[in-house]
Amino acid sequence: MTSGDTRPTRWVIKIGSALITADNTGLNLDNIRHWCTQFAQLMTDGLEIVLVSSGSIAEGMHRLNWDSRPTDIHQLQAAAAVGQMGLVQTYESELQRHNISAAQILLTHEDLSDRTRYLNARATLATLLNLQVLPVVNENDTVTTDEIRFGDNDNLAALVADLIQAEKLIILTDQQGLFDKDPRHHTDARLISTAKADDKNLLKMAGPSGSSVGSGGMTTKILAAQRASRAGTDTIIANGREPDVLLRLLSGEPVGTYLTSGTLTLDARKRWLANQLKVRGTLVVDQGAQTKLETGTASLLAIGITASTGIFYRGQLVSCISADGTEIARGLVNYSSKEIQQILGHHSREIEQLLGYIYEPEIINRDVMVSM
């Protein structure tokens, strides 16, 4: 915020399923009650809060008397539909103890990948916050498929932080934070107290997906912090079981891992492009195009493309990668994958001759492109 900005401080708080649920008995009511008491105090102190909460499927399984998590997508969606009732009911009841109203917001990736729906979601959240309502956000698991899923609530929380221009993204987990090694196997593992969100060494510390440290989602938490940092949002990863953890964070106590955002933030449209999770295809560019794209001031021309993968259409999001597979930029294409196959490597002046028409001389205009 600038010195003249009087908008209240905004936090997005994400609570993982390991904290929300009790072993095979649905929701952990004691934990939820404890957090809601802290939410009330934070709001009394002037903060605006958006909560991203897991737990709907686990609660649905409990209500349906299922002993094991199903693999069938429709059964999972049914469990989510049943569980959402209990999840929101629990938050509503506990927040009402503190005279706080709650609102349920269910999102799919398509809600945020479409620019108009993205702006509508942002306006709705802003209105709720102005009304001093606490929005409870979750992925709309009842209708999502792999094609439109966020993938995890860490990513969703990062996108919500961007939506509301939050100062902090608080990710509560069952870990103390990010360690430089797996603390279960290394007695000398050291907690990383502070780091820059864009530090490339962080993902190495998190371990591969499926590891004990990363499997609890530490890798996805770092990726979420990186996405949030593009909007100037700092991220804190902390143990949600710590007593009064949110109040201690508000007081400035160093709890968990604090990942600071960079000094350079993107404008709203560039953030929207950068944070899209569903890239529809890739364009491999030559060294000349790579050098220009890395400056963030050049458009991508057909002559700089050496290969195209995936099936995509005009207006969809694609990734521009170097020969070694490093992502350089992403943006909205002016031509489909079929059309690009016919014009890649050619000068812009040849497009009309090759296709019989021309939309734009650029494959991706710099105004709808962001460097990664």
72 & 155 share domain: yes
Instruction: Identify the domain containing residue 252 by its residue range.
Output: 10-271
* Res. 148: pLDDT tops 60: no
Does residue 115 lie in a domain region? yes
Q: pLDDT: is 237 or 186 the higher one?
A: 237
213 & 340 share domain: no
| Position 3 confidence tier, pLDDT thresholds 50, 70, 90 | very low
347 & 366 share domain: yes
DSSP code for 243: T
250 & 295 share domain: no
Helix, strand, coil % (nearest 5) of the chain? Answer: 40, 20, 40
What's the confidence (pLDDT) of residue 364? 95
Q: pLDDT: is 276 or 341 the higher one?
A: 341
Percent of the chain with pLDDT over 70: 90
Angle separating helix axes 153-164 and 115-130, nearest 10 degrees: 70
- Listed ranges 15-19, 125-129, 219-223; the one with the highest mean pLDDT: 125-129
291 & 265 share domain: no
CA separation for the pair 333, 331 (Å, rounded): 6
CA separation for the pair 81, 144 (Å, rounded): 12
Tens-place pLDDT, residues 295-326: 878 899 999 999 999 999 998 899 999 999 99
209 & 334 share domain: no
Among 140, 130, 113, smallest CA distance to 164 is for 130
Place of tokens 């864009």: 198
Q: Retrieve residue 169's tokens.
A: 């993204």
* Res. 275: pLDDT tops 50: yes
Q: pLDDT: is 195 or 70 the higher one?
A: 195
| Position 146 confidence tier, pLDDT thresholds 50, 70, 90 | low
* Res. 42: pLDDT tops 50: yes
DSSP code for 9: P
The sheet that has 257-260: what strands, in order across it?
A: 102-107, 134-139, 48-53, 10-15, 168-173, 234-239, 257-260, 194-196
Strands 134-139 and 10-15: unpaired
Q: pLDDT: is 147 or 229 the higher one?
A: 229
**4-8, 53-57, 249-253, 292-296: lowest mean pLDDT where?**
4-8
Average pLDDT over residues 117-145: 86
**H or E element, residue 195:** strand 194-196
What's the confidence (pLDDT) of residue 139? 81
Number of domains the chain is built from: 2
Please say which residue of 212, 243, 271 terminates a domain: 271
Average pLDDT over residues 288-292: 93
Does residue 4 lie in a domain region? no
* Res. 266: pLDDT tops 50: yes
**138-142, 194-198, 281-285: lowest mean pLDDT where?**
138-142
- Listed ranges 136-150, 227-241, 256-270, 332-346; the one with the highest mean pLDDT: 332-346
CA separation for the pair 108, 110 (Å, rounded): 5
What's the confidence (pLDDT) of residue 4? 45
298 & 220 share domain: no
CA separation for the pair 90, 29 (Å, rounded): 8
**5-9, 48-52, 100-104, 146-150: lowest mean pLDDT where?**
146-150
120 & 172 share domain: yes
What's the confidence (pLDDT) of residue 150? 47
Please say which residue of 271, 303, 328 terminates a domain: 271
- CATH number, domain of 87, equals 3.40.1160.10
283 & 259 share domain: no
162 & 232 share domain: yes
* Res. 264: pLDDT tops 70: no
Average pLDDT over residues 172-182: 87
DSSP code for 217: I
What's the confidence (pLDDT) of residue 309? 95
What's the confidence (pLDDT) of residue 210? 40
Rounded to the nearest integer, the mean pLDDT of the chain is 86
Residues contacting 22, CB < 8 A, separation 6+: 28
29 & 175 share domain: yes
Average pLDDT over residues 141-166: 73
Q: Retrieve residue 32's tokens.
A: 């939820």
What's the confidence (pLDDT) of residue 276? 62
Q: pLDDT: is 204 or 352 the higher one?
A: 352
* Res. 140: pLDDT tops 60: yes
Q: Where are the alpha helices (DSSP H) in the chain?
A: 17-20, 29-44, 56-63, 73-96, 109-113, 115-130, 153-164, 201-206, 212-213, 219-229, 245-250, 268-274, 287-293, 337-343, 351-355
What's the confidence (pLDDT) of residue 149? 47
Q: Are the beta carbons of 262 and 270 closer than 8 angstroms? A: no
Does residue 340 lie in a domain region? yes
- CATH number, domain of 295, equals 2.30.130.10
Residue type at position 149? R
What's the confidence (pLDDT) of residue 145? 54
Q: What residues form DSSP beta bridges with 49?
A: 11
Tens-place pLDDT, residues 63-119: 999 988 888 888 888 888 899 999 999 999 999 999 999 999 988 877 877 778 888
Task: Indicate the burial class of 216 (C-beta count within 10 angstroms; 0-12, 13-18, 19 or more).
Answer: middle
Does residue 1 lie in a domain region? no
| Position 151 confidence tier, pLDDT thresholds 50, 70, 90 | low
Could you tell me how many helices (H) and strands (E) the chain has, helices first? 15, 13
